Chains A and B, each alone.
Chain A
Amino acid sequence: MRTGTNPVPALLRGIGAYVLVALALAFFALPMLWLAAAPFDAHPGVTASLPDFTLANFKRLWNNPNAVDSLASSLILAVGSAVLVVGLSALAAYALSRVRIRGRDGLLYALLLLSSIVTGTAAMVPIFLLAAELNLVDSYLGVILVLTGGLLPAAIFILKDFMDTTPRSYEESARVFGASPLRVMWDVVVPVVRPGLATVGVWTIAQVWGNFLIPFLLLRSPDKSPAAVVMYTFYTEGGQPDLALISTFSLLYSLPVVLMFLFVSRRYGFRFHGGIKA
């Protein structure tokens, strides 16, 4: 790394760094190999190996009555939650960032800590009974609202930070021209914090996409089950996993979030605070 003077240590260090990078690449790539190989294998086992190539597993999955529908359900839940979470947390974060409210930080931390209880198994009875009381059982809306409630504190936390670092001067000038606060937020703040909104959106979608407990508890109709729930049905009476279906479904199930991530990171930049140069 040192420039010029002594090439040998620099060379060694360069090689060392690349060896480490190669190790890191291997570390992150190896566990994923199976996902790339097994779905195309006629007889998938647990070993990632060059597949005995077939597309039969996809065909079998296509014929599975629940698999394809479940992805649509997941999409509804994820997008619905993401819209609510991003929208509501942006409004709340903006207000919290610009107006001083007593006990604000304490409240945020308390909510963050409480959210760990609600996502645990011990809270399932209260959540279920609450949803039953509100007539929200077996509706997408119920799942979306419960998940949104759980994710909002964290989302507000993230976004408030983005909002804190945006320059105020534009807002002030916009205000001088008579724009309402909502208008200011929409026209001035939102464009600046877009990477933050994208981050929160992707994060919400990833969380909802993988959530099993809440949709499992609250949904009843089989055609509403999201992928996370259906994933657990590829077992037989004795509880053995059907590796062909599981690997193939895993791949299809993962693709949307992966594509979304790639799209968002390319389009908006996917990063945390500091990405915005205030």
Chain B
Amino acid sequence: MGVIARRTALTAAVLGAGSAALAGCGSPLDPRGGGGGEIALTVATNAISGGKNADEAEWIERWVIPRFVARQREQGVDVRVDFLPSGVDDEQYKTKLALDLKAHAGPDIMSLDGIWVGEFAQAEYIKPLREVAGPDVADWAGWRQISAKVRALARFEGKLYGIPAGTDARVLYFHKPLFRRAQLPVDWQPGSWQDILDAARKLKRLQGVIPLQINAGTAMGEATTMQGVLPLLFGAGGRLAKGDRWYGDTPELRAVLGFYRDVYRSGLGDPKLQQEAKGRDKSFERFAEGSLGILAEGDYFWRDVISPETGIAPMKRRDNDVGYALIPARARHEATGGRDHVSLSGGAVHVLNPHTRHPRQAFELLTALHSAPALKARLGDAAMITERDDVNDAVLDKDPMLRFCADKALPVTTFRPPLAAYTAVSLALQEATARVVAGKSPESAAQAYRKELEEVLGGSDHIIG
């Protein structure tokens, strides 16, 4: 009898004791924290030291948290703050947060992509900041430093849900040595789509060079929408949504798809690159090694990807070899609002868990993540467009490229509509570009997009045109 009976009993004991022990202590899932007088808070972002967004993770763990804890202690409050790192795809990170919030648990403070704010708010996973932390939130001095435009990232249906954590801009990068070889000006600033195509045609004469990379297709994911379709759509004077209704098969969309056709069907872009699972990484490598002429990308391409020291595709002579220009409207004054140029922006937002047990301290920690000294510490010698004007004034001078983004691109930028259906609409746009790259006409791709919209929105009620 012996051994196995004892084993079974042991297993049972382990199972029983295990669950009992678990029931007893507060797991990190439980935002109310552990027992005792100590106030426990948790912060979660999609960053992990030694992995994805490592510097952000290290900054929170080593700079923000210790200082916050020390300050609270000075005020006689005993606080313990834990950082919950992640280092996964955004979709997976989002799923995990949504599940936690659904179970009325999860971290006290979390970072969301600005585009998720709407759907999380609709699901009542998050609540307006004022409802969670009280009317005092308006007293935070930092608000004055955050422009209304950037604040819009954290806004849904007129209410503010959190504090934006910086923003970004999209521009056209070009490889100056290739431009010289193609006898193009190194202070290039296209004024229309035609100018882009003309430059690309000249680049095409160079051996082994892909002239132009405008992201297309579903493999690039959101990069296709952000760096491709939307800047073009807004540049053609089109719109994506109005209220909660989406534009369907419009002349502007057809124009955008026509541009894709011009690029990919006349050898100005590499259609294969648009289909590869790692196509975007490859486009970075190509640009860095000088076999790609023009690339539409966000500012992090400059800050991170081709950064001379720390980049994934480092360019030692980045500051000399890489030029940047605003993305032009289809033609002068044709962009939305009669503008000549466009850009697109996004960014993360830090929000509070509506079920936090310590809303006051949680809000204080939230503001601590957005104080001027904290942001400066985060950047160190690097530069980035932060949410705060005062910090931007100080840090952007370190990097003319980011200064350019803040001064020239942000004034003409647009944010994506914060609606729950956005993800599905964005996918439909990516598919439309994929069709064109694969050889369909822009007209039929636009019609297919309209049909796809009906499917994802459940009918035509929410479609214009």
Contact = CB atoms under 8 A, between A and B. Distances in A.
Contacts, number: 120
Interface string B40-64: 0000000011111100000000000
Contacts of A236: 52-53, 304, 312
Given A137-B27, A220-B29, A67 B50 contact: yes
A106 B89 CA distance: 40
Interface string B94-115: 0110010011010000000000
B1 A180 contact: yes
Interface stretch (B18-26, B136-144, B206-214, B263-271): B18-26
B84 A129 contact: no
A174 interface: no
Contacts of A128: 99, 103
Given A124-B99, A132-B29, A183 B50 contact: no
A220 B42 CA distance: 11
Contacts of B18: 139, 141
A134 B19 contact: yes
Contacts of A47: none
B87 A141 contact: no
A235 interface: yes
Nearest to B106: A220
A218 B19 CA distance: 15
Contact of A238 (B11, B27, B300): B300
Chain A CB within 10 Å — which of B51, B53, B95, B278 has the most? B51
Interface string A67-85: 1000000000000000110
A232 B19 contact: no
A228 to B, nearest CB: 11
Contacts of B105: 132, 137
Contacts of A241: 278, 281
Contacts of A169: none
B305 interface: yes
A235 B52 contact: yes
A176 interface: no
Contacts of A232: 87-89
A84 B102 CA distance: 31
B53 A220 contact: no
A97 to B, nearest CB: 16
Interface string A125-141: 10011001011111101
Nearest to B15: A141
A236 B28 CA distance: 26
B4 interface: yes
Given A66-B50, A138-B28, A139-B27, A216 B92 contact: yes
A222 B304 contact: no
B84 A222 contact: yes
A148 to B, nearest CB: 11
A237 B5 contact: no
Interface in A37-92: 63-67, 83-84, 87, 91
B50 A221 contact: no
A129 B100 CA distance: 9
B33 to A, nearest CB: 14
A185 B11 CA distance: 18
Contacts of B305: 238, 240
B2 interface: yes
B280 interface: yes
Given A186-B4, A236-B312, A129 B48 contact: no
Contacts of B280: 238-239
Contacts of A183: 1-2
A98 to B, nearest CB: 16
B191 to A, nearest CB: 29
Interface in A119-165: 124-125, 128-129, 132, 134-139, 141
B93 to A, nearest CB: 10
A182 interface: yes
A118 interface: no
Contacts of B52: 233-237
A132 B102 CA distance: 10
Nearest to A140: B18
A172 B29 CA distance: 53
B27 A135 contact: yes
Contacts of B88: 216, 229, 232-233
Interface string B254-268: 000000000000000
A135 B23 contact: yes
Contacts of B89: 232, 239
Interface in B288-325: 300-301, 304-305, 312-313
B443 to A, nearest CB: 33
Contacts of B3: 186
21 contacts: A84-B11, A87-B8, A129-B103, A135-B19, A135-B23, A137-B103, A141-B19, A141-B22, A186-B3, A230-B87, A232-B87, A232-B89, A233-B48, A233-B52, A234-B52, A234-B87, A238-B312, A239-B89, A239-B280, A240-B281, A240-B312
Given A141-B15, A235-B87, 20 more contacts: A64-B51, A65-B49, A66-B49, A84-B11, A87-B8, A87-B11, A91-B8, A124-B99, A135-B23, A137-B105, A141-B19, A182-B5, A216-B88, A230-B87, A233-B50, A234-B51, A237-B52, A238-B281, A240-B281, A242-B312
Interchain residue pairs A-B with the least CB separation, the first 7? A233-B87, A233-B51, A64-B50, A132-B103, A141-B18, A138-B27, A240-B312
